[in-house]
């Protein structure tokens, strides 16, 4: 009884976790479901099949949308990561006028509701005369915009956690500023940049609200799912969902293993692993963001 009492919170916590996994398991199970011929039974498990996995592109427009999402995701990640990393360096390492208003400008896109950001951007494009040219470029512009703040916050927290003693040591040993940057600073900050890039990609890949408003006739994967959600839902979308889950879990676990190995090898203080998980996944939630206001 005492054991139960001491564990009751943990058990409740695990139940909440189980709840978050219910829809995920449905996605995984349905990826093996044979699409029933009857429209009304579409939301029930019909028959086991591997077809969805073997022929993911039965509907070519899905794969097209998927490809476009990956393309936009990669380009948006590249853009946001470069701009955001530069800005993070400026924020931590350089002094400039207007620091607090810059912080607010960086924080706001993470807090503003997507529907407002998306419709503002659409209003801008329309009033600038681009109403007929909405598509790939406008989506990309929007994605870089909303990924940027998350990159800055993530890289900034990594940079702020580094003391510059190692760089000073390098300089004392006659390394040029360029050598110091590429041999010391950059490798130390790289995990933060990588985390920011992964976060950007997942934000961009999964965005629907802002994209839908600024996409014109271009279709991304979330928009494809939105489109078919009122019609026959191809079971292949569950294959994509499952693959996304597997890939991201592999990345997280891989990062963890690498970190452990490195920590053991160095036997030094472990890099704040957990903090980086929290920062990467919930940069939105970083308390630092709220302090900026």
Partner 1 sequence: MSETVRRKGITGYILLAPAVVWLVAFFLIPFYSLLAASLFNSDGSDFRGYTMTYEWSNYWHAIQDYYPQFIRSLVYAGFATFFCLILGYVLAYAIAFKSGRWKNLMLVLVIAPFFTSFLVRTLSWKLILGNDGVVVNTLQFLHILGPNGHLLYTPFAVVMGLTYNFLPFMVLPLFASIDKIDYRLIEASNDLYANPVVGFFKVTWPLSLPGVVSGTLLTFIPAVGDYINDELLGSTQTRMIGNTIQSLFTEANDYPAASALSVILMLMIVVMVLFYVKRAGTEDLL
**Taking CB under 8 A as the rule, does residue 47 contact partner 1?**
no
Rounded distance between C-alpha atoms, residue 206 and residue 195, angstroms: 17
**Taking CB under 8 A as the rule, does residue 109 contact partner 1?**
yes
**Taking CB under 8 A as the rule, does residue 35 contact partner 1?**
no
| Per-residue binder mask for partner 1 (CB under 8 A), 1-30, x = binder | ------x-xx-xxx-xx-xxxxxx-xx--x
Dihedral sign for Cα atoms in the order 143, 146, 152, 155: negative
Q: How far is the CB of 278 from partner 1 (least distance, A)?
A: 6
Q: Which is nearer to partner 1, 120 or 179 (CB)?
A: 120
Q: Which of 70, 171, 188, 277 binds partner 1 (CB under 8 A)?
A: 277
Which positions from 153 through 182 interact with partner 1, judged by CB under 8 A?
A: 161, 163-165
Is the distance from CB of 208 to CB of 131 less than 8 angstroms? no
**Taking CB under 8 A as the rule, does residue 120 contact partner 1?**
yes
- Helices 136-160, 114-127: crossing angle, 10 deg rounding: 130
Which positions from 177 through 206 interact with partner 1, judged by CB under 8 A?
A: 202, 206
Q: Which of 70, 141, 175, 292 binds partner 1 (CB under 8 A)?
A: 141
> Three-state DSSP class for 33?
strand
**Taking CB under 8 A as the rule, does residue 124 contact partner 1?**
yes
Total residues in contact with partner 1, by rule CB under 8 A = 100
- From residue 132, how far is each of 137, 145, 216, 217 by CA, in Å? 12, 21, 8, 10
Region binding partner 1 by CB under 8 A among candidate stretches 54-62, 117-125, 181-189, 261-269: 117-125
**Taking CB under 8 A as the rule, does residue 242 contact partner 1?**
yes
Q: How far is the CB of 37 from partner 1 (least distance, A)?
A: 17
Q: Which of 285, 89, 74 is nearest to 188 (CA)?
A: 89
Chain centre to alpha carbon of residue 119? 22
Q: Which is nearer to partner 1, 192 or 289 (CB)?
A: 289
Is the distance from CB of 210 to CB of 114 less than 8 angstroms? yes
Rounded distance between C-alpha atoms, residue 233 and residue 237, angstroms: 8
User: Residue 18 contacts by C-beta under 8 Å, 6 or more apart in sequence?
Assistant: none
Q: How far is the CB of 265 from partner 1 (least distance, A)?
A: 19
């Amino acid at each position: 009884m005492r054991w139960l009492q001491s564990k009751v919170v943990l058990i409740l916590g695990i139940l909440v976790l189980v709840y978050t996994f219910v829809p995920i398991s449905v996605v995984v199970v349905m990826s093996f479901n044979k699409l029933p011929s009857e429209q009304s039974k579409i939301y029930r498990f019909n028959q086991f099949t591997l077809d969805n996995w073997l022929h993911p592109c039965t509907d070519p427009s899905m794969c097209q949308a998927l490809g476009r999402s990956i393309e936009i995701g990669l380009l948006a990640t590249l853009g946001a990561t470069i701009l955001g990393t530069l800005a993070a360096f400026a924020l931590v390492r350089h002094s400039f006028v207007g620091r607090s208003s810059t912080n607010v400008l960086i924080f706001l896109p993470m807090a503003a509701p997507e529907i407002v950001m998306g419709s503002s951007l659409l209003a801008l494009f329309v009033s600038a005369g681009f109403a007929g040219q909405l598509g790939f470029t406008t989506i990309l512009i929007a994605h870089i915009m909303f990924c940027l703040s998350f990159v800055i916050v993530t890289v900034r927290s990594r940079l702020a956690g580094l003391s510059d003693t190692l760089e000073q040591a390098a300089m004392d040993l006659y390394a040029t500023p360029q050598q110091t940057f590429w041999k010391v600073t950059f490798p130390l900050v790289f995990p933060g940049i990588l985390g920011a890039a992964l976060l950007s990609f997942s934000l961009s890949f999964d965005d629907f609200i802002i994209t839908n408003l600024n996409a014109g006739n271009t279709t991304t994967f979330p928009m494809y799912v939105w489109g078919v959600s009122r019609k026959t839902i191809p079971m292949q979308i569950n294959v994509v969902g499952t693959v996304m889950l597997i890939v991201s879990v592999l990345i997280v676990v891989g990062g963890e293993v690498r970190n452990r190995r490195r920590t053991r090898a160095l036997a030094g203080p472990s890099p704040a692993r957990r903090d980086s998980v929290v920062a990467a996944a919930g940069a939105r939630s970083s308390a630092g963001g709220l302090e900026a206001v």
